[in-house]
C-alpha cells in the first residue's frame, strides 16, 4: 500500500473515531456498566447491610437516641444513608482500579469512547449505587418507625444522594492512584474514620471542641449537614462551600492522576 493510500485510510479511521456522538457515550454501555457494578456482592453488602447495622447500633439499639424522640432516630437514619451512599459512590469510582489491573482501560482507549464519556458513565454508575444505599436505608427506617413529613423524606433523600456523588470523584481519584484490586479494603476504613469524626456516626455536639472544629474541614461534614438540613436545618454557607470545595479537590485530583495514567500507555 502506498503512503498516500495509507494516510488516506488513517484519516478515514480518525474521522470515524471523531464522528462518534457524545464521545462514545451511549445507554447500552451505561446499562452494562451499571449491571457490572451491581454484580459486585461485596459492594452491595457494604451499601445495603452496613448502613442498616449502623442504624440499629446507633439508633434503635441506643437507649439515649430512642429517648430523644423520633427526630433523633430520623437524624441517625439520614446520616447512615449518607454513609452508605458515600461508600457506594466511592466503590463505583474505585472500580477503575480493577479495570486497570486487567488491562481493560487500555482496550477502551482503542475505541471511540472519550475520557469524558468514560468518566461520565463511571459517575452515573456510582450514583446508582448511592441511590440504592439511600433508598434501602430509608426503607429500613420507615419500617422501624421513623416518621417525617413527606417533603422531608424527599428532600433529605435527594440531598443525601446528590451531595454524596462528590465521592464518585473521590473513588475515581483513588482508583487511578492505586493499582490494587482491593483498593476499597484500604479506603473503606479511612472513610469510616472520617465519617466518625465528620459527624455521621455521632452528633458533633458529643465531640470535644477541638474535634468539632476538625470535623468542619472533613469531606463528610458538608454532605451530612445538607442531607439533614430538611429535618434539623444546617444548610449553612460553610456546609455548601464544603461540598463544592471537596468536589473540586476530588475532581481535579482524579483528572491529574487520570492524565498521568493515560500518559503511561
Distance from C-alpha of 45 to C-alpha of 52, rounded to nearest angstrom: 10
What was the pLDDT predicted at 257?
81
- Maximal CA-CA distance, the chain: 84
pLDDT band at 184 (very low <50, low <70, confident <90, very high): confident
Please write down the HEC assignment for all residues of 137-204: HHHHHHHCCCCCCHHHHHHHHHHHHHHHCHHHHHHHHHHHHCCCCCHHHHHHHHHHHHHHCCCCCCCH
Q: Is the dihedral of CA 134, 136, 142, 144 positive or negative?
A: negative
Q: List, for residues 125-165, the tens digit of each pLDDT value.
A: 899 999 999 999 999 999 988 989 999 999 999 999 999 99
| pLDDT > 60? residue 265 | no
Find all residues with CB under 8 Å of 228, minimum gap 6, and list them.
75, 78, 79, 156, 234
Q: Who has greater pLDDT, 84 or 3?
A: 84
Looking at the chain, the whole-number percentage of residues with pLDDT higher than 70 is 80
Mean residue pLDDT across the chain:
81
pLDDT band at 2 (very low <50, low <70, confident <90, very high): very low
Distance from C-alpha of 220 to C-alpha of 64, rounded to nearest angstrom: 24
Its pTM stands at 0.83
Range with lowest mean pLDDT among 80-94, 95-109, 129-143:
95-109
240 burial (CB, 10 Å; 0-12 / 13-18 / 19+) is: middle
pLDDT band at 29 (very low <50, low <70, confident <90, very high): confident
Q: List, for residues 202-242, the tens digit of each pLDDT value.
A: 888 878 888 888 889 999 999 999 999 999 988 999 999 99
pLDDT band at 5 (very low <50, low <70, confident <90, very high): very low
Amino acid at each position: 500500500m502506498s503512503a498516500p493510500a495509507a494516510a488516506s485510510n488513517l484519516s478515514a479511521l480518525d474521522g470515524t473515531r471523531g464522528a462518534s456522538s457524545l464521545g462514545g457515550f451511549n445507554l447500552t454501555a451505561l446499562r452494562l456498566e451499571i449491571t457490572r457494578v451491581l454484580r459486585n456482592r461485596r459492594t452491595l453488602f457494604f451499601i445495603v447491610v452496613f448502613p442498616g447495622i449502623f442504624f440499629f447500633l446507633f439508633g434503635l439499639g441506643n437507649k439515649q437516641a430512642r429517648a430523644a424522640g423520633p427526630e433523633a432516630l430520623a437524624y441517625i437514619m439520614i446520616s447512615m444513608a449518607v454513609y452508605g451512599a458515600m461508600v457506594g459512590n466511592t466503590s463505583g469510582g474505585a472500580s477503575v482500579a480493577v479495570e486497570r489491573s486487567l488491562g481493560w482501560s487500555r482496550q477502551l482507549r482503542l475505541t471511540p469512547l472519550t475520557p469524558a464519556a468514560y468518566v461520565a458513565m463511571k459517575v452515573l454508575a456510582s450514583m446508582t449505587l448511592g441511590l440504592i444505599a439511600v433508598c434501602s436505608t430509608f426503607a429500613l427506617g420507615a419500617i422501624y418507625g421513623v416518621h417525617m413529613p413527606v417533603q422531608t423524606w424527599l428532600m433529605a433523600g435527594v440531598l443525601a444522594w446528590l451531595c454524596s456523588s462528590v465521592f464518585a470523584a473521590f473513588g475515581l481519584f483513588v482508583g487511578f492512584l492505586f493499582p490494587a484490586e482491593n483498593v476499597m479494603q484500604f479506603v473503606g476504613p479511612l472513610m469510616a474514620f472520617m465519617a466518625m469524626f465528620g459527624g455521621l456516626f455521632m452528633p458533633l455536639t458529643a465531640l470535644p471542641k477541638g474535634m468539632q472544629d476538625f470535623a468542619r474541614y472533613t469531606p463528610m461534614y458538608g454532605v451530612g449537614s445538607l442531607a439533614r438540613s430538611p429535618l434539623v436545618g444546617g444548610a449553612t454557607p460553610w456546609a455548601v462551600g464544603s461540598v463544592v470545595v471537596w468536589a473540586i479537590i476530588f475532581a481535579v485530583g482524579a483528572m491529574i492522576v487520570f492524565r498521568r495514567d493515560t500518559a503511561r500507555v
